[in-house]
Amino acid sequence: MSDTPDRKPQGGRRTLRGRGRGGSTTPGSSTGALPSQRLSSLRDNPQASTSGTAKSAGKMKFTPKIPVRRNKREPAAPSSIKPEAAAQETKPAEQRLSDSKGVRGSGPQNGRGGRGNGRKRVELTQRITGPFAQGPASLGSHARRGPATASGIAYGGAAAKTEADDGGGGLNGQESPAVVRVTDYNERDGQDEFDVQTEEMALAAFEEMSRLQLDYNTADALGLGKSEGPAEEKLVVLQIPRIPEFELSKPVLQRRRVARQQQRIAQRQKAAAAAMDVDAAAVDVKPDIAALEKAAGADGDVMEVDIKPDVSAADAKHAETADSAAEEKAGDSDLAASVDGRAGTLVVLRSGAVKLKIGDVLFDVSRGADCQFLRGLLAVDVRGGSSSAYMLGNVDAQLLCTPDLDSIL
Amino acid sequence: MSVSDTPSRSAAEYGLPDDEIVAEIPVYLTQKLDKQLHLLQYPQKDGSITPGELQPREARIKPIHGQIELDIPLDVQSPMYNKERGAALGVGISDSGRLLDITTLVSVGIPQNSEYLAGVMRDGELHLTAIKKAIQLRPSLRYLDRVAEKDLAAKKMDHSDEEEEVKKETKAQSVQVTVRSAQAEEALRQQQSSIAYMQQKLEEEPWSGLAYFDVGTEESNAVHADLIADNKEDLISKTTPDEYLTAVIGSIVPDVL
């Protein structure tokens, strides 16, 4: 057959080598290197044993340690066991495995980058648990017994078609449950284009983002940017965890109380004037009213006097005082309820930050998420028998207020 | 509104001593409208449309539950409008053979995790009012239900050819309703906390008319003025920062029950 010197078999391998060459000859190859490019895995790995399943002597038994897919593609890397290389090889197997098991790559896991270049490879493995933990049934149990012979290779779960499994592959010795190397097929195509994202890159990206944040001008939302002219009114929605409580200051309360009383008195005066049958008591009461206007004390319910003409002036006054006191209280609660006034200040700082101080609490103001859809403000009044709705305008921007914990704590 | 002309001062009182104040805006709080303000969201409408485009022909409200319905007119003359389909679906609105010419938007309440304030920026002043509720307006497809009901009724009529049967059915239905609500307190007590019950309550409340005043109308402008505080005096704060923080934390209800 071949021209090579017939050597004594120095090992099962040798013999096989010698025989396996078929037609090609290279006389000078005394070292035993096979001239042919085929069967490179055999050439480079004289150690690889046949694991005892060698078939008849005449037949080449190709037993790499890595499960190899029986397709036209020749294993790119020799069966010297390098995890990276192995990963490459097992990919086709995984593909089938993944397809059959539906295990999808958890692609965007941390630290994961493109794999294709082989420069930096991130090993992604995922434990198989549950009913699939034992691997495919096609394997045959002998391959699964005990820890694997393959070192450190995650068993790609060769699909049924590969017959070359029986020696190689096996469960990953490091972990007892079967493990699947997970691939993200969405990224597979782009593997050659993307670089792996290193930590430096991630940090750089973060800094970039923070820088951008400052430029994301919150002040613009309020129409304070220099680019905008003196604006029309803007309607904004402020989001705040809780609105602090306020009360009116004493002078304001006082002022309001007096104003309200004046109002009331004025009304009654009009009513009294209209009523023609004002008796002397009523007339007497009027100047008192005038005198008391300035004081905080309650006064003059002229209506009462009209209704009860029999009541003596003194009694009438008593009644008046009591009534007015009650009214005053009612009035006060109304006043207290409608808190109206300056609650704080909003400042825009040169760095772009915007702060809000409401009462004694300091807030950071940032821009809320951009909203694509329409937002409006509606005032709905259901008091009385009829209801009315007043559309007050569209919301232009949303601002988020977060308490500035540094100042509070 | 001009950016502050005062010599820039340090923002020390705002916790950033190295920073300068560029603009200072007084913030006023008012409560005149705070029982009435609603934030409306129109998820299907683009944010750039003018307010006038959403003027409803008719509006309804359930005052107790606060649910609102707006009938927004559709342009039936538009070349895009499919008149046959419009006629078929118009049955869901009325029997008079009119085309489907409105879109009904129904409001749905949104859970709120924080308080919202409406702010009006005017003349360098910010006026805030608390917002009572946030709601979303979504199209209601009730007309489809009605079309289906009518189809069903029509089929029944064809089948049995007895109008009485249809009437009986409707009668039966209404009787069922009365029985249910008249039924005992025991059942009611259980039901009261159920969502189904609340839904039913909502459906039972009748719609009442809602007068709608769009942006730009006199009435609306008048109410708008209530967003601005009259009193410019300082308010006294009743909460210290510590109390504030405690209150905020205390009011957070964890999502996990």
The predicted pLDDT at position B7 comes to 54
- Please give the Cα distance from B66 to B40 (Å, whole number): 13
In angstroms, rounded to a whole number, what is the distance separating the alpha carbons of residues B53 and A212? 36
Rounded CA separation A287/A161 (Å)? 113
- Give B17 to chain A, closest Cα distance, Å: 11
> Is the Cβ pair A349, B2 closer than 8 Å?
no
Please give the ipTM for the structure prediction. Answer: 0.75
CB contact under 8 A, A389 and B61: yes
Q: Which of residues 190-249 of A touch B (CB under 8 A)?
A: 219, 222-224, 226, 230-231, 233-249
**Confidence (pLDDT) at B134:** 92
Given a cut of 70, the residues of chain A with pLDDT beneath it are 1-59, 63-64, 66-128, 135-196, 209-218, 220-231, 276-337
**Nearest residue in chain A measured CA to CA from B114:** A241
Q: Select the residue of A339, A392, A409 nearest B29 (Cβ to Cβ).
A: A339
CB contact under 8 A, B236 and A346: no
Tokens 């300082």 appear where?
B234
Contact (CB<8Å) B245/A403:
yes
> Mutate which of B234, B238, B246, B251 to test chain A, going by most A C-beta atoms within 10 A?
B234
Question: What does the pLDDT look like over B153-182, one tens digit per residue?
Answer: 888 887 765 555 545 554 455 555 545 555
Among A241-255, A376-390, B20-34, B113-127, where is mean pLDDT lowest? A241-255
- Residue A82, pLDDT score: 44
CB contact under 8 A, A374 and B46: yes
Beta carbon pairs, A and B, within 8 Å: 307
- Taking only the tens place, the pLDDT of each residue in B78-97 is 888 888 888 888 887 877 77
Count of CA atoms in the C-beta half-sphere (13 A) of B129: 29
Please give the residue of chain A at the shortest CA–CA distance from B40. Answer: A376
**Mean of the per-residue pLDDT values of chain B:** 79
Of B20, B47, B245, nearest to A374 by CB-CB distance is B47
pLDDT surpassing 50 at residue B120: yes
In chain B, residues with a C-beta closer than 8 Å to the C-beta of A337 are 31
Task: Sort residue A325 into left (φ over 0), alpha (ψ -120 to 50) or beta.
Answer: alpha
Looking at the DSSP assignment, which residues form a beta bridge with residue A389? A380, B212
Is the CB of B232 less than 8 angstroms away from the CB of A234? no
Looking only at the bridges linking them, the beta strands covering B10-11 and B115-122 are: unpaired
Cα dihedral B87, B92, B96, B99 in deg (nearest 10): -30
CB contact under 8 Å between A249 and B40, yes or no, is: no
Average the pLDDT over B111-136 and give the result.
89
Interface probe with B: pick from A220, A247, A349, most Cβ of B within 10 Å: A349
Domain boundaries defined on chain B? 24-144+203-252
CB contact under 8 A, B130 and A243: yes
Chain B residues whose beta carbon lies within 8 Å of the beta carbon of residue A353: 16, 19
Residues of B with Cβ-Cβ distance to A246 under 8 angstroms: 29, 235-238
Residues of chain B in contact with residue A393, where contact means CB-CB under 8 angstroms, are 51, 215, 224
Question: What pLDDT is stored for residue A13 in this prediction?
Answer: 45
Q: Is the pLDDT of residue B15 over 60?
A: yes
Contact B223 A390 (CB under 8 A): yes
Interface check A91 vs B, CB under 8 A: no
| Residue B148 pLDDT exceeds 60 | yes
Name the DSSP class of B232. Answer: -
Minimum-distance CB partner of A387 among B44, B61, B240:
B61
pLDDT at B135: 92
The verdict on a CB contact (< 8 Å) between A338 and B126 is: no
| B72 or B253, higher pLDDT | B72
Test B40 with A375 for CB contact under 8 angstroms. Answer: yes
DSSP states of B135-157 as a string? Answer: EEEEE--HHHHHHHHHHHHHHHH
Q: What are phi and psi of A375, to 5 degrees?
A: -130, 135
Q: Could you give the 3-state DSSP secondary structure of residue A348? A: strand
The residues, any chain, with a CB within 8 Å of residue B196's CB and separated by 6 or more, are none
Spacing of C-alpha B249 from chain mean position:
28
Q: What's the pLDDT score for residue B131?
A: 92
Higher pLDDT, B204 or A325: B204
The pLDDT mean for chain A works out to 60
